[in-house]
Amino acid sequence: MQHYAVWGNPIAQSKSPLIHRLFATQTQQTMEYVAKLGDLEDFEQQLQTFFAEGAQGCNITAPFKERAYALAEEHSERAKLAEACNTLKKLSNGKLYADNTDGIGLVTDLQRLGWIQPQQRILILGAGGATKGVLLPLLEAQQQIVLANRTLEKAQKLADKFKPYGTIEAVAMDAIPAQTYDLVINATSAGLSGHTAAVDGSILSLARACYDMQYAKGGDTPFIAYCKSLGLNNVSDGFGMLVAQAAHSFHLWRGVMPDFVAIYEHLKKDMA
Ligand code: ATR
């Protein structure tokens, strides 16, 4: 039996075990995937023990993505730029390889929605870890990015870092250039405390589509609710991104790409 897990703290709420078990059944892979509560002090030791005992790979969620990245000996380019990983794989040479499938998961979900074509103008709200994790795949998909953050310096720092990879500019949240964005992506953590980042509603109203990287069980996230209140219909939460990033992790470990849309639709029905 090959062993996999997701590590986080808290972890009880994680949908990853269910998603990966469904992928395993769908692709006829024999594997075990469980949730593991990481210890805030001893996480590194726990992870070393997990792999020493024969595990093949794992997902990493909050608050350990940076610490897991630091522990790995080899890193994908997208993990390097994110300075964080959501996926670890034990290589055949015994080394730990870190990848970050969050950004490609987002791009894959935008493809499901039909919302991504080259040279679109995308407005991203927020410039924290969630944003850093998705910028490279978005720029590789030739998106032109306006990065808006409450704290302008943080957005500026990210824009400077990612400029070599494509078109990206930083603006303050209260000085977003008024224009029609093909897509607005909420990557702030404001929704976690039940809020929406204070963003000019008239700019959102013009948007062709709005995507929230967060999701809420059985309802709308605060950002999606706000977009709907402005009359927007093309809205999506980040549940598809969650399933798609898992599919890319699964592919890295098992060499098989699951049909993530089928699993997404199956799970979405249960969440309604
Ligand atoms: P994460 O890993 O979820 O991205 P983070 O690195 O702490 O978390 O970043 C949180 C992001 O949400 C930041 O861009 C933060 O803005 P600041 O850099 O100005 O702090 C943004 N954010 C959180 N709460 C917000 C709020 N109420 N309004 C606007 N932006 C908010």
Please say if the pLDDT value at position 197 is more than 80: no
* Closest ligand 1 atom number to CA of residue 188: 12
Active site amino acids: 65
Asked if residue 110 is part of any domain, the answer here is: no
pLDDT for 195 equals 74
The residue nearest atom 24 of ligand 1, judged by CA position, is 190
Asked if residue 168 is part of any domain, the answer here is: yes
Same domain, 190 and 151: yes
pLDDT for 79 equals 98
Candidates 60, 83, 188, 196: which one to mutate for ligand 1, based on the most atoms within 8 Å of Cβ? 188
Same domain, 179 and 248: no
pLDDT for 239 equals 97
Q: How confident is the model at residue 191 (pLDDT cuts 50, 70, 90)?
A: confident
Same domain, 86 and 138: no
Same domain, 69 and 164: no
Same domain, 65 and 170: no
pLDDT digits (tens, 9 = 90+) for 198-246: 888 899 999 999 999 999 988 999 999 999 999 999 999 999 999 999 9
pLDDT digits (tens, 9 = 90+) for 2-27: 999 999 999 999 999 999 999 999 99
Same domain, 224 and 127: yes
Same domain, 152 and 77: no
Domain hosting 187: range is 116-233
Ligand 1 lining (C-beta closer than 6 Å):
126-130, 149-151, 154, 188-190, 195, 197-198
State percent of the chain over pLDDT 70: 100
- Number of domains making up the chain: 2
Please compute the mean of the pLDDT values over residues 120-128 and round it to a whole number: 97
Residue in the block written with tokens 């470990």 = 253
Same domain, 128 and 223: yes
Same domain, 136 and 218: yes
**CATH number assigned to the domain comprising residue 258:** 3.40.50.10860
Asked if residue 107 is part of any domain, the answer here is: no
As annotated, the binding site includes 14-16, 61, 77, 86, 102, 126-130, 149-154, 213, 215, 238, 245
Same domain, 56 and 77: yes
Asked if residue 186 is part of any domain, the answer here is: yes
Distance 129 CA to ligand 1 centre (A): 9
Distance 229 CA to ligand 1 centre (A): 22
pLDDT digits (tens, 9 = 90+) for 51-109: 999 999 999 999 999 999 999 999 999 999 999 999 999 999 999 999 999 999 999 99
**CATH number assigned to the domain comprising residue 215:** 3.40.50.720
Question: Residue 234: left if φ>0, alpha if ψ -120 to 50, beta else—which one?
Answer: beta
Do 263 and 26 meet the contact criterion of CB atoms below 8 Å apart?
yes
The residue nearest atom 22 of ligand 1, judged by CA position, is 188
